[in-house]
Amino acid sequence: MATLSTDQVNKPVENITPESLPDATPDDLANALDKLVDKSASHPDVVSHIHAPFHALAGSSWVHQLIPGIDRLAVDYHCGNYVIARGQTAPFFESMPLFARVGMHLLFYGREEVKLLGYRKVNDLLHYQSVRQGTIYDDPRSVSSIPSFVHTYSIELQELLEPDVSKYRTFNEFFFRRLRPDVRPIFNPGDPSAVSSAADCRLTVYHSVDEAKEFWVKGQNFNIPNLLGLQTDELEFTAFSNASLAIFRLAPADYHRFHAPIDCIVEEKAHFPGNYYTVNPQAINEPGFDVLTANVRTVLYLKHLQTGLRVAFVAIGALLVGSIVWTGGKEPGTILKRGDELGYFAYGGSTIVVVFPAGLINFDSDLVTHSQKPIETLVKVGEAIGKTPAKE
């Protein structure tokens, strides 16, 4: 993700609305997304299409032709989000890639009401392009995009189990690359009360759903039953009625395998088909969009070995994400230690929501403080995010 320090951000951050691009029609945006995905199949430089950083669009004439007015927008605004690194006091700015900005603008134009390209609604279009992008990056020819992706996102190859990019057979195989076992140490591995980050991510944490809705998740239909696909008369609904939430957002640059945040036994899972909306904070923070509960997702239940309580691990797909794949979390009955791999996302940004039943976790104070500002905190797999309180 292209980053800018605080002192480099000398123009306002765009608050995306339908009026941001008054000269661009919904068909312009739909056609632009189609052409961006097209070009990803033929051009090896990822910044020339879907990963074009917003702050560099002023020099991209072909994008100007696709999206009238985007050059003016890029000159006048930054597009993206502030995040903060753990242990730091000053936030920094991450520029949003072009595909996320286009997908978000389509959402703001009325997802179900507006037909695009003569036959597709927004939901259908985003689903189609997401599946298509995954197919493109599963093609062996896609390996030509790996070097530019590494350069664009400053990926540290020395961390990888296979650092030679020529050994990967497809772009997607590189995207869900494995890390060396020693580069993501697990915090205090002998302490069964510790809870670790499930992913390399931008993290927000909340001790209740009401708190999450106050500061972060503004979707009108966001609640535990909708997230987990439960009926209000089910026992699981009661078990999670006062749940705490950890929301792990993975950007395209991140290591995309996810791991057990607790010592646990794998139980059953449930898959829910859905949409492929962007999981960028500006979409999650919008009251009219139920991103986390409307997107395609799989709920995996994990039995916490220390307390016997069930934790819900929700892997959520997003715009241009091809699939959710389970590895260590595939078979019920599997016993996993904190930090063991559960699965991975194929290409794209994505999100994990871990739902902890009441009393299972006290989140670390720095994460709570940042989340209430609200701002996301950069964390890595295995870092501490909280503890299970001792029984009185």
Q: Any idea which residue has 């088909």 for tokens?
A: 273
Among 132, 100, 118, 107, CA closest to 17: 107
Question: Span 69-86, mean pLDDT?
Answer: 88
Q: Map out the domains of the chain with their CATH numbers.
A: 3-138 (no CATH), 194-387 (2.70.70)
DSSP letters for 166-182: GG-SSHHHHHTPPBPTT
Q: Report pLDDT for 247.
A: 97
What is the distance between the terminal CA atoms of the chain, rounded to a whole angstrom? 45
Q: Report pLDDT for 119.
A: 46
Look at residue 5 and tell me whether its pLDDT is greater than 70. no
Those residues with Cβ within 8 angstroms of residue 56's Cβ, 6 or more apart along the chain or in another chain: 2, 47, 74
Share of the chain above pLDDT 90, in %: 53
Single out the catalytic residue among 127, 256, 259, 304.
259
Query: Known catalytic residue: 144?
Result: no
Among 6, 70, 52, 41, CA closest to 252: 52
Structure confidence by residue, pLDDT tens digits, 195-240: 999 999 999 999 999 999 998 998 888 999 999 998 766 666 678 8
Q: Report pLDDT for 392.
A: 63
Share of the chain above pLDDT 70, in %: 90
Single out the catalytic residue among 28, 34, 200, 290.
200
Q: Letter for the amino acid at 103? A: G
Single out the catalytic residue among 60, 130, 350, 371.
350
Query: Known catalytic residue: 350?
Result: yes
Binning pLDDT at 50, 70 and 90, where does residue 117 land?
low
Look at residue 4 and tell me whether its pLDDT is greater than 60. no
Q: What is the mean pLDDT of the chain?
A: 88
Q: Report pLDDT for 234.
A: 66
Look at residue 312 and tell me whether its pLDDT is greater than 50. yes
Report H helices in the chain.
Answer: 26-40, 61-66, 70-76, 98-108, 122-138, 146-152, 171-175, 209-215, 224-228, 235-239, 281-284, 291-294, 365-371
Question: Span 187-191, mean pLDDT?
Answer: 92
Question: Span 375-383, mean pLDDT?
Answer: 97
Query: Known catalytic residue: 259?
Result: yes
Question: Span 74-87, mean pLDDT?
Answer: 89
**Lowest model confidence (mean pLDDT) among 14-23, 36-45, 130-139:** 14-23
Look at residue 54 and tell me whether its pLDDT is greater than 80. no
Structure confidence by residue, pLDDT tens digits, 134-146: 899 999 999 999 9
Look at residue 289 and tell me whether its pLDDT is greater than 50. yes
Residue 322 or residue 88, greater confidence: 88
Distance CA 102, CA 67 (A): 9
